[in-house]
C-alpha cells in the first residue's frame, strides 16, 4: 500500500541567501552561479519517496526577499505546512532577518507549521561569520529544525527536505 501526501512548503529569508538556489538544487539537481533575483514568488514541485510506502509531493513557494515583496509573503506562508527559513553563513545580517521571519511565522502561519532554520553556503566555510553553535542555539530556543546545506555542492539539500517531510503529519 502506497501513501501519497502533498505538502505546501514556503522558503523565506533575506535576499541572496540562496533560497532559489536551494530549490533549484532540490528540483533540478543543478546550480547556477549567477541567478536573477526572484520576482514576487516562484512555484515549483518535487516528489520524493520518504520511505517504502510513502511518497511526498512538495508544492514549493520560493518567495522574493526584497522589502517591496515583504507584505506579499504572508499569502504564501499563511496556508503552508512547512517553512524553510534560510540564512547565509557568510552574512551576519541574514540571521537577524531569519529571526524576523520566524517571528512572522509564529504570528501568522498555521500553529502546527514545521519550521526549519537552514544555513546555506556551507562551501564558503572559510568566510563563515555565523557559527553553527550560534544558529543551533537559536533554533533550539524556538523549537526549530536546524540544517546546514550548500546549494552549490548539493550537500545536505535533499536530506533537509526529507527530514522536514518526516516531521509532517503523514496520514
Ligand atoms: P535568493 O535571493 O535567496 O533566492 O538567492 P539566490 O538563489 O538567487 O542566490 C544568490 C547568490 O548566491 C547567487 O549568486 C547564487 O549563485 C549564490 N549561492 C546560492 N547558494 C549558494 C551556495 O550554496 N554556495 C555559494 N558559494 N553560493 C551560493
Ligand atoms: Mg530567489
Write out the three cell numbers for 117: 532554520
Q: How far is the centre of ligand 1, averaged over its atoms, from the C-alpha of 54 (Å)? A: 31
Ligand 1 proximity of 63 Cβ (cutoff 6 Å): no
Among residues 147, 100, 159, 83, the alpha carbon closest in space to that of 121 is found at 147
pLDDT tens digits for 41-99? 889 999 999 999 999 999 999 988 665 666 777 888 888 999 999 999 999 999 999 99
User: Cα of 150 to ligand 2 centre, how many Å?
Assistant: 15
What ipTM goes with this model? Answer: 0.99
Average pLDDT of the chain, as a whole number: 93
Closest alpha carbon to 154 in 11, 23, 51: 23
Distance 70 CA to ligand 1 centre (A): 19
The pLDDT value recorded for residue 110 is 93
Q: What pTM was computed for the model?
A: 0.96
Return the pLDDT at 67: 59
Q: Which three cell numbers stand for residue 64?
A: 522574493
Amino acid at each position: 500500500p502506497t501513501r501519497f501526501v502533498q505538502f505546501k512548503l514556503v522558503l523565506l529569508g533575506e535576499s541572496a541567501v540562496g533560497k532559489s538556489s536551494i530549490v533549484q538544487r532540490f528540483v533540478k539537481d543543478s546550480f547556477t552561479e549567477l541567478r536573477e533575483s526572484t520576482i514576487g514568488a516562484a512555484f515549483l514541485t518535487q516528489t520524493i519517496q520518504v520511505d517504502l510506502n510513502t511518497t511526498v509531493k512538495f508544492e514549493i513557494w520560493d518567495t522574493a526577499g526584497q522589502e517591496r515583496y515583504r507584505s506579499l509573503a504572508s499569502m504564501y506562508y499563511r496556508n503552508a505546512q512547512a517553512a524553510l527559513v534560510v540564512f547565509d553563513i557568510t552574512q551576519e545580517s541574514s540571521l537577524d532577518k531569519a529571526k524576523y521571519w520566524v517571528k512572522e511565522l509564529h504570528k501568522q502561519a498555521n500553529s502546527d507549521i514545521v519550521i526549519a532554520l537552514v544555513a546555506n553556503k556551507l562551501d564558503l566555510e572559510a568566510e563563515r561569520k555565523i557559527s553553527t553553535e550560534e544558529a543551533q542555539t537559536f533554533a533550539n530556543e524556538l523549537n526549530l529544525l536546524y540544517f546546514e546545506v550548500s546549494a552549490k555542492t548539493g550537500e545536505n539539500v535533499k536530506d533537509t527536505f526529507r527530514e522536514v517531510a518526516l516531521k509532517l503529519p503523514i496520514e
